[in-house]
Every structure is written in structure tokens, then in C-alpha cells.
Structure 1
Amino acid sequence: MADASGFGVGPAVVLLAAGVVAVPIFRRLGLGSVLGYLSAGLIIGPFGLGLFNDAEALLHIAELGVVLFLFIIGLEMRPSKLWKLRKQIFGLGAAQVLTCGALLTGVGVLAGLAPAVAAVAAMGFVLSSTAVIMQMLEEEGDKAEPEGQRAIAILLLEDLAIVPLLALVALWAAFNGQAAEASMPFWQSAGIAIGALAALIAAGRWLLDPFFGLIARAGAREVLTAAALLVVLGSALFMQTAGLSMAMGAFLAGVLLSESSFRHQLEADIEPFRGILLGLFFLSVGMSLNLTIVFSEGQLVLGGVLAFMIVKAIGIYGIARAAHSDHRAATHRAALFAQGGEFAFVLYAAALAVGLFDARISAIMTAIVILSMALTPLVLIAQKRMRRDAPVSMEGIDKAEDLRGRVLFIGFGRFGQVASQALLSRRVELALIETDVEMIRAAANFGFKIHYGDGTRLDVLHASGAATAEAILVCVEKPEIADQIVALCKAEFPLAQLYVRSFDRGHALRLIQAGVDFQIRETFESALVFSEAVLTGLGFEEEDAREAIAEVRERDEQRVELELVGGLTAGRVLLRGNMVTPEPEPFFPRARSAAPADS
């Protein structure tokens, strides 16, 4: 098992076992899957247990994971959506690359490197890791958010930047008398790249959809999967041959197929390969960390990691703020992009090939990039904790004081906002308090005046007008917080009607015990309406669908009554006018075997 290039069953088992063991542990510790894969790769690699000696060969294969990842991202980026991001790609992305490149070049020169060497080292580190950033965005659920879209736009520009950077390596080497005689002029390489892009776009627009239609009519599912892989890998290889990156080719193929009728089928076919190969990529990056260099050049490597990451983060933060991002978004982007990436390996290999880098500089810079990739999950965790612990600015936020309203809202998130609309339409006077400062500021943009106030504090409730309110609406998201507010309101403001958003059946039972006037589970009624629409859509009569929903609601009421009587309260409970019966009907029809799901 000394060589990963053999691709026997033994190496495959070791790789799968490493990922299966490490990733769940690291995710349970809150460190993320990326750090789990990197650590596992380090352990089984040539500088750990020595189960694999050729990490570079494995890395070349595992890069297909990044290629497939970019293809799936492309499927989600329709051309119209990509056009909307053009300013962020060529404006924000270019500004970040050029600013950080200049700053890091200065760091390299101060460290004693020649200007050309420092510039190549800096620009390699500027190209952030697409694999790491996309994986972190996916785990955080931020990929579709505005900030996630900006991150994708910057990554696209960085992918494009590899072409002029490789040309500059040859140019810098030529000035130093080190260029190969057969090196291509920049104008020629740029022309080939542009021509390849045009050819791929033309093929995608006029050939891909008919091609998949022809394959689909053959009726062989496995052939359609093979065709999807052929298009992705073929596009990637075509772009690489033209001097662009494989990831860019795969991304463009995805964009061109994003409006195809086969889009969802392609995504389902590619997804399993993407996940496995991307994990393999992180494993191979972990194996590539040369611990001999880290220990022998420890001061230089660790100093380089800290200096490059800190200076790059400062540059990213400055660009983000100049682009009108707030402090929170700017710090998150700085933490997310502060590392080097996989394209640095390509750039450093090119610099080594033309003699611009010597073997020592190449090994040190590669180690710096890999360590920065490994540190990214930890940096993000630290940034989140600092953001959580940092004092929130109260500028422009009014605290609850001498409020008066016929109805007092405690919590004004999505639930409270919807609940308020009918009241506002009838000009009911509302007093609104909330603890989320960002929510207060966002609501102000829509004409809502919300005051800052913690509903679990008696003095805040008095200041919010709870003593004179006819109704108190508890719309907070956390059930334990709602319980505290209910207990306080029942004890101090017994004349006010108490309406509460409940979380699940258990929470609803607690609220009924507490004696609230009305409670509703946050998803129960919407799920019933949803289910009724499904029944009518399937062709059931509207009356039949309404009866089915009424049966579900009745069984749920019976279950609540039974649980109250059986384990929570004594005596009879009156709910919606129905007295508790000793032997209620089954909660679900006997003909069905599905277990009842709590709402």
C-alpha cells in the first residue's frame, strides 16, 4: 500500500475509513468536515503513518472533486443570474485580487524575497481555495444568501486570474533570463483562451441540450450519467488545454446547462461523485503537507502563515467596507477568504519549472498555503464566537420606555410580522419589542417602529405597556424563553389575554397547563393547508379534502387531551368544546403503518 497510484482495494478502504472516522468526529466537535479530511490525510499520508507515499498523484485525481463541485454551482447560476453578478465578479473580485496581491507582495519583499519571487508567492496565496470556501458556505447554508453570492463571484474572478498569472510567470522568468525558448507570447495564449471560451459557449448553447435529448431517448439511465460526466470532464479538459483552469470549464458547462430540461437529472447524477471526490481532494491536500519542511523551517513557515493570512484579511476587510458591506459581513468575508488555495499549487509549480522558484521556496510556500487552508475552519469558528460575544451597537435603537398599545408583541420575527398584518389593517394600536438588533433595523426600513426589550424582564414588560395591554402576543422563537414570559405575564398581568406561538406538541401542552388563552404550533396549521392543497391537486373533491384535514385536526386534539389527562393533569380538559373521552379513536387510520410525526 505504499503507492496511491495503484488504486487497489486496500488504498480505497483506507481512504474511505479515514473520511468516515474523522469527519463525524470533527463535525461533532464543531470544527467542520474540511478540517476532518485534512487531519485524516495528514495522519495516513507520507509524513504520518506512511500508508500513502505519492500524495501528488492522488491530488491530481482528487481535483476532479473541485471540478464537479464547480459544475453543480454552475447549474445553479443561470446566465441571467450570472449577468447580474458581473459587477461583483469584475469589480469586487478584481479589486480584492489586486489589493491583496500588492499587500502580500510587500510582505514578501520585506521578508527578503526578490520582487518577482515575492509577487508570484503573493499572487498564489491571493487565489483562495474554491473547495474550502464552497464547502464552508454549503455547511453554513449561506450559498444562496447575498454574501454567499458575492463570495462565488470573487471565486470566479480568481479562477479567471490564473490565466494572466501563468503568463506573468513566464514573462517574469524571461526578464530574468530563465524562460523556456518555447514559451508562448501572452497575446497568443490570451487569444487561445478567448477562442476556447467562445467555442465552449457555442457548443453549450446549440449542442448540449440536443445531445442529452438523444441520450435520454435511448432509455439507458447509466448512459445518461456517463454522458453527464463526459460533458463535465470534457469541458474541464478542453479549458485546461487552452490554458484556463479545469474548474472554469466545468463551471461554464454547468451555466450553459442551467436552463436545460435535464438540469435536475444532471445534478442528481453528478452529486454522489462530487461529494466523494471533494472529500478525496481534502484528504490528498492533508497528505501533501511536508512536515519535514514545517519542522526544519518552522519559524519561517509559521511566520509566513500568520503574516500572509493577517495581511490578506486586512485587505479583504478594507475592500469589503469600501464596497459598502457592514462590519459583520466584512469580517466574515475576511475570515472566509484569508487562506491560500489549490491554484497556488499550479502557479508555484509553474514558477519552479521556469526556475523562478527554487525547491526550498516552493516547498515553504506550499506548506504555508496548506496550513492556511487547514486553519480556515478554526478562523471562522473564532470569528463567529467573537461576533457573538462582541457588544452590539445600539446606535439608532430605542429601548422600550412608556409604550402604550392595545396589543403588545414580544418578538417580531417572521411569525410576528405575519401575525401583525391583519391587526394593522384594522388599525389596532401595537407596541412591538424585540431583542434582535438587526431585525429591528431591518424592520425600520419597512416602516415598523420596534423597540429593544427583553420580554423575560418584568421592568421591560412594564415599560412596554403590558399592564394596560388588552392582549400580549408571545412570538419568540425559543420555547424556553416563551415559557418564562408566559409565567411572568400570568403572575403579573392576569387580566391581559395571552396568545403564544408554540414550538411543538410538548410545548403546546406546557402552555395549556400554564393557562394561556390561545396557543398554536408554528407549523401545524400551515402544514394542514399544504396537505389539503396536495389532496385537491391529486384530484380529490374539495369537500373530501376538507374532511380529511378535519379528521387530522380532531385526532391531534384527542391526542393532546389524552396526554394532558394521562400524564400531565388530572380531571377533564375542555378543548374546542370537545370533552375528553375515555377511549378516543386511533390518532391515525388503522390501515396506515406510518408513525405519527409531531408537529
Structure 2
Amino acid sequence: MAHPVFVPSSPLGDALVILGAAGIVIPVFARARITPVIGFILVGLLVGPYGLGRYVFDQPWLAYITISSPESLDPFAEFGIVLLLFSVGLELSFDRLWAMRKQVFGLGAAELLVAAGLIGFALSFAGEAVPGAVGLGLALAMSSTALVLPIAGTQTPVGRAALSMLLFEDLALVPIIFLLGALAPNAAGGLDAMWHTLWLGLLVVLALLVFGRYLLPPLFAQAARTKSPELFLSACLIVVIVSALVTAGVGLSPIVGALIAGLLIAETEYHTEVEGLIAPFRGLALGVFLITIGMSIDLTMVAANWLAIVGATIAVLLVKAVVTAGLLRLTGMRAGAATETGILMSSPSESTLIVLAAAGSASLIQPGTGQFWQIVTALGLTVTPALAWVGRRLARRVDGHGHAHTAGDSDAPRTVIIGFGRVGRLVADMLTTHGKSYVGIDTDPDLIRSAVRAGYAAMFGNANATHVIERLHLERAQAVILTMDEPRAAQRIVKKLRALHPDLPILARARDSVHAAALYRAGASQAIPEALEASLQLSEAALVELGVPMGFVIASIHEKRDEFRETIMEEGGLSEKPKLKSSSLRDRLE
């Protein structure tokens, strides 16, 4: 009697494979300075039904390291795309999106239609029926939001150009699917259904904008007051999922709802905290999406038709790269940046698979044709990181070894004020008076809300959290000023900042000399005790009142401050003097 073979339950087994892949792929490829995108695709290829999965019946133990039901991953892969578009919305704003309207509906529309027209014409010339050629042209003309934006970002010329075209493609996805349905041999009322969906979708989008503007700030404020990261994260995910479900419910793509949710939260002071909390989920969900791409590659079919598949892939890449780069040059973009953008945007998209499925359902293309172009799409997605590398190299050569990526406005140096109560606002006022830019950050939602209403540049966030520190871009900061009245928290933040940024000037408010010494040990450049400063100000007022000239009073105050600082350093057991020691005004006066 044969013994039954134990096979782990599908959900747990699949979860084990995915988490194991993330734990192996990310560090290994990061150490090799290779994007994890390739690693996730290779994992999908290895553990999918066309890899080790085909041998499960012969070797049951392989069920532990393969994915038994690839279709079960589709919801997670879709969720990754939704979170990506949500993150894109967080980096935008309504003003910036409105400023991009010409690029989105001008450049984006031209890129999609011209590339689709050329590809469709070539396929029609090769013998494909006109409706099928239209469907394939539109499908292959789309570019990958999931891969292009993480590579290019949204703050560089390449990233901004790519974003405008990708936004139009995402918005055009639903009309394209309806158009293919209308072209079906037995279609009835396809265009009427499309207009109905678009009008209904427009009403839903307007409703999301109105309700979101008034409901989201109090929702996140309430979540922030609890000081619970779990509750705050739950609020984020609820907003994303509800927005995506609402737009999907009326026939639009769920990514439209996710983008709107991101735009709405970007207008609040909580966007940095939200972006940091969402990032790990987005990365893992995108990893699942990339694994599904790898699982769709049938190496047997690739081996049997490798010449045609490679030729078709190269042809699609060339057409899209030339069209995109040419249109960008016509808009006045630098040759190097246009070249890099064209090459980066040349690969097909995850949306290509959706359009191919729609074309197949409408009987516009044969199943074999659809499978062939699915493999071409998967191969194109796989080589996208390599295309990005080639694009950067060519851009430097075209521009004479210059850099195609140019910093955006967010790269401007500024001072970061941690703690934005009464003292933080006063520091911000003085910086503004002398023309210095700043951003304030605090964990009190009420403080931040009142500061934003008063016109200060402030945002909600926990400066002790690594994801918040990363979003502050302290490598470009002129200085960090801690005004918070929480001694232990201030010491922890100073220690973390000094470890991450050894040369960053850090100025901290201290309660007394003992706290100041602790801050110096933690790595502060300057620590200013409140009691000392009050005494010095009182002395200054008294000396002026007694008739001592102002210049000598100021000089003596500065010297006394330096003496106290040296004493604090000695009592704290620190031999080095503070990095930003004040110079004597008496010397300058003399």
C-alpha cells in the first residue's frame, strides 16, 4: 500500500516561496549591485509551472519550493501595481499634475498612438488581420509603470517625461479595452458601454476628490493622535483599497483610484509618514508581480521559437525607443535625456498582458499569437533593467560624458527642524528672515496642522524612524536643528543621525548642562542648554542697562558661552571641542 505524500497547503507553501525569494534575492542582488527585478523574474522562472513546477508529480518534495497555483498570486500582483500608483500619487500634487497636463495628454497621447500605429502597420503588413493588428499595436506600445518609475524616479527629467507618458497609458487602458471589445466580430454596444463607463467614472473621481479632501485630514489626524503605527498603517491601506475598489466597481482601472488617493494624501502633512509605511508592502507586492512575470515564460516554447521571439522583441524595442526619443527631441529635451528615456520606455508593460488578454477574449487574435506576444512581453520586462543601464551609458556619451539625470527642485539644500512647537517655529521664523529654506517635522498632528495653516513648511513624521530619515534627504541638508523637549528621544535621534551622516551639522536644544553633555556624546555639533541661554540673555540686558557698549557685551557673551561649552565637554568626558564652535566676536571687533 502506497503511503500518502504530504504536500503543504497551497497558500502557506506559496507564501514560503515568496518570502524566501525576497529574503534571498534582495540582499544577494543588492550586494552584486544588480536590481532585484531580475532576481524576482528568475525566481518566478525557476519555481513556476514551466520550471521546477513541471516535475512536482515525479518529485513530490518539489512542492515545498515551487508555487502550486500561479493564478492565486494574481491579486497580490495587482495589489503591487495599485500600491505603486499610490506611491506615485504621493510624490505628485494637484498643482504639479495640472502643470503636467500638456505632457500627459500631448506627449503621452502622441507616444502611445504613434508607436501603436507603426507596430500595428508592420503586423498588418506581415499578414495579421487589421483588428488584431490594432489590438497588438496598442498592447505592445504600452510601457511598464511598475519597472520604469522605480528606476527613473519622478524628480529627474527622465523620470518626469516617463511619468507623463505612463500616466496617459494608465488612463487610456480602460478605453483601449472597450475599443477592442467594440472591434470584436460579435460586438454589440461596445462604444455605448465605454461612454457610459467614462461618464460614471468621471462622477466617481469627482466624488473621491471632494470627499477625500474633507475626510482624509481628520482621519489621519485621529490615527496620528493614537501614536500607533499599526492604526496609521491600517488607515493608509483602507484609503488605498477603498479608492481602488470604487473606481474598479464602475469599470475603471483600480490604479486610477490608487493614484487619486495618493494625490489627496500628498496634499496633507502626513504624506512622508504614509510613504514610509507603505514602501515595504509595495516592494514585496511588486516582487510578487515580477515572480508572476517569470512564471509566464515557457522556456520550451522560447527554445523552439527563439529566433522569432528575439527578433520580435528587438523590433518592438527599437520602434518604441526611436518614437519616444524622437518625440522628446521635438519637445526640446536634451539629446542625452531623450535617448535614455526612449530606451527605458521601449520595453512592453504589465498592462500589455491585460490588453493581450482582452484582444484574445474579443477573438481579435488567435491563442497561439497571444501566447507568442506574452512571451515577448515577459522577455521585454526581464531586460528592462539592462535597458536602463544601456540608456544611461548612451546618454552620457551623447551629452559628452555628462549626466542625464538632473536634480529637481527637491534637491535644494535646506535646514531640517525636528520638533515644531514654540521653539521650532521661532527658529523657522529666523531662518526665513535670513532667506534660508527649512522644513519642520513633528509627531503632534495638531501642532503640524496649525503650523501648516499659519504658512510654515511642516510635515507629520517620527524623526526617529528610518523611513522618515530617508525621505528627508539629509545628505542634501545644510543642518539639522532639534528643538524637542524630550531628552532621551533627542539623544537617540542625534546618535542615529550622526551614524548615518558623519559630516552633518546637528544643533540640539538641551535642558541643562548634563543633558548637553549627553547630546555631545551622542554626536551633536552644538548643544544649547536652556538655563545657560536664559542666564546669558539676562546678563546681556543688565550690562547694556549699566552702560557697557553693545559690541563688547555681545563679544563677552559669546566668550562666556564658549567657556561654558568647553566646561560641559570636559565634564562629559569629551576631549574634542564641538565641531561648530563659535568664534569670538571680540576678536572680530578688534
TM-score range, shorter chain: 0.5 to 0.7
TM-superposed deviation, 1:239: 1.4
The corresponding residue for 2:586 is none
1:45–1:286: 8 Å Cα contact kept in structure 2?
Answer: yes
CA distance in 1: counterparts of 2:295 and 2:6, whole angstroms: 13
| C-alpha spacing 1:72/1:547, structure 2 compared with 1 (3 Å) | farther
Report the CA distance between 1:536 and its aligned residue. 4.8
Q: Is the 8 A contact 2:85 2:259 kept in 1?
A: yes
**Superposition pairs of residues 235-250 of structure 1, within 5 angstroms:** 235-250=243-258
Q: Distance in 1 between matches of 2:21 and 2:577?
A: 44
Q: Corresponding residue for 1:133? A: 148
- Give the letter aligned to residue 78 of structure 1: S
Q: Deviations over 1:440-493 (max 9, x none)?
A: xxxxxxxxxxxxxxxxxxxxxxxxxxxxxxxxxxxxxxxxxxxxxxxxxxxxxx
The Cα shift of 1:183 comes to: 8.3
Residue 344 of structure 2 corresponds to 336
Other-structure match for 1:323? 331
| C-alpha distance in structure 1 between counterparts of 2:180 and 2:206, whole Å | 25
Alignment length (residue pairs): 426
2:10 to 3, 6, 11: 6
Distance 2:568 2:290 in 1: 48
TM-superposition CA deviations, 1:119-140 (whole Å, max 9, x none): 1111112221111012212xxx
CA contact (8 A) 2:180 2:358 kept: yes
1:116 aligns with 2:131: yes
Q: CA shift at 1:294, angstroms?
A: 2.1
- 2-structure distance, mates of 1:549, 1:386: 54
Q: Following TM superposition, by how much is the alpha carbon of 1:382 offset from its aligned partner in structure 2, in angstroms?
A: 2.5
Give the whole-Å Cα distance in 2 for the aligned partners of 1:277 and 1:172.
Answer: 34
CA displacement at 1:540 relative to structure 2: 6.4
What letter corresponds to residue 25 of structure 1 in structure 2? V
Note the C-alpha offset of 1:81. 1.6
Shift of 1:348: 1.4
Distance 1:526 1:350, change over 3 A: closer
**Alpha-carbon offset, residue 245 of structure 1:** 1.7
Task: Give the counterpart of 2:120 among 105, 115, 122.
Answer: 105
Q: CA deviation at 1:65?
A: 1.4
Deviations 1:195-245 (A, max 9, x none): 221222122122222333444556654233222111101111211222222
Q: In structure 2, what is the equivalent of residue 356 of structure 1?
A: 364
1:259 equivalent to 2:285? Answer no
- Aligned in 2, Cα 1:124/1:56: closer, same or farther, shift over 3 Å? farther
| CA shift in 2, pair 1:551/1:60, >3 Å | farther
Q: How does 1:514-593 map to 2 (within 5 A)?
A: 527=505, 535-536=527-528, 541=533, 543=558, 586-587=575-576
Q: Match of 1:151?
A: 162
8 Å CA contact 1:328–1:387 kept in 2: the answer is: yes
Shift, 1:96, TM fit: 1.1
Contact 1:97 1:126 in 2 (8 A): yes
**1:290 Cα deviation from its structure 2 partner:** 2.6
2:178 equivalent among 167, 170, 182: 167
1:138-183 per-residue CA deviation (whole Å, 9 max, x = no partner) reads xxxx43223322222221111101021011101111xxx2326788
Does the CA-based 8 Å contact 1:75-1:257 persist in structure 2?
A: yes
- Contact preservation (8 Å) 1:180, 1:354: no
Q: Distance in 1 between matches of 2:180 and 2:7?
A: 32
Q: Which residue of 1 aligns with 2:426?
A: none
Q: How far off is 1:110 after superposition?
A: 2.8
Say whether the 8 Å CA contact 1:43–1:49 is kept in structure 2. yes
Aligned amino acid, residue 162 of structure 2? A
Distance 1:318 1:108 in 2: 22
State whether residues 132 and 365 of structure 2, in contact with CA within 8 Å, keep that contact through their aligned partners in structure 1: yes
Q: How far does residue 310 in structure 1 lie from its aligned partner after superposition?
A: 0.7
SS in 1 for 2:150: helix
8 A contact 1:4–1:11 mirrored in 2: no
CA distance 1:19–1:216, shift in 2 (3 Å):
closer
Gaps of at least 5 residues in structure 2 are 54-65, 403-412, 414-500, 509-522, 537-557, 579-590
Do 1:71 and 1:232's aligned partners in 2 also have CA atoms closer than 8 Å? Answer: yes
Indicate if the aligned counterparts of 2:29 and 2:36 stay in contact, CA closer than 8 A.
yes
Secondary structure in 2 matching 1:144: coil
Return the alpha-carbon distance in structure 2 between the equivalents of residues 385 and 292 of structure 1.
34
CA deviation after TM superposition for structure 1 residue 549, in Å: 7.8
Secondary structure of 2:363's counterpart equals coil
Task: Give the aligned partner of residue 215 of structure 2.
Answer: 207
Deviation per CA, 1:299-346: give whole Å up to 9, x if none: 332221111111111111110111111110011001110011111121
Structure-1 separation of matches of 2:149 and 2:292: 18
- The residue that corresponds to 1:275 in the other structure is 283
2:36 is the counterpart of 1:33: yes
What is the aligned partner in structure 2 of residue 61 from structure 1?
A: 76
Structure 2 matches for 1:429-578, cutoff 5 A? 527=505, 535-536=527-528, 541=533, 543=558
Unpaired runs of 5+ residues, structure 1, are: 395-417, 419-522, 555-583, 590-599
Partner-residue secondary structure (3-state), 1:355: coil
Aligned counterpart in structure 1 of residue 23 of structure 2, from 16, 20, 25: 20
Q: Normalising by the residue count of structure 1, what TM-score does the alignment of the two structures yield?
A: 0.64
Q: Distance in 1 between matches of 2:34 and 2:8?
A: 27
1:3 touches 1:54 (CA, 8 Å); kept in 2? Answer: no
- Alignment partners' CA distance in 1, 2:114 and 2:567: 64
**Amino acid of the structure 2 residue aligned with 1:343:** S
Q: What is the one-letter code of the residue matched to 1:104?
A: I
5 Å-filtered alignment, 1:62-101, equals 62-101=77-116
CA contact (8 A) 1:90 1:157 kept: yes
1:380 corresponding residue in structure 2: 388
**TM-score after normalising by structure 2:** 0.65
Superposition pairs of residues 406-425 of structure 1, within 5 angstroms: none
| Comparing 224-233 and 177-186, the one that deviates more | 177-186
* Cα separation, partners in 2 of 1:588 and 1:155, compared to 1, 3 Å: same
Cα drift, residue 25 of structure 1: 3.5
> In structure 1, what is the equivalent of residue 463 of structure 2?
none
Distance in 2 (CA, whole Å) between partners of 1:538 and 1:263 is: 33
CA contact (8 A) 1:107 1:308 kept: no
Whether 1:303 and 2:311 are equivalent positions in the alignment is yes
CA distance in 2, matches of 1:183, 1:320: 32
Q: Is the 8 A contact 1:3 1:53 kept in 2?
A: no
Q: Evaluate the alpha carbon distance shift between residue 535 and residue 180 of structure 1 in structure 2; reply closer, same or farther with a 3 A threshold.
A: farther
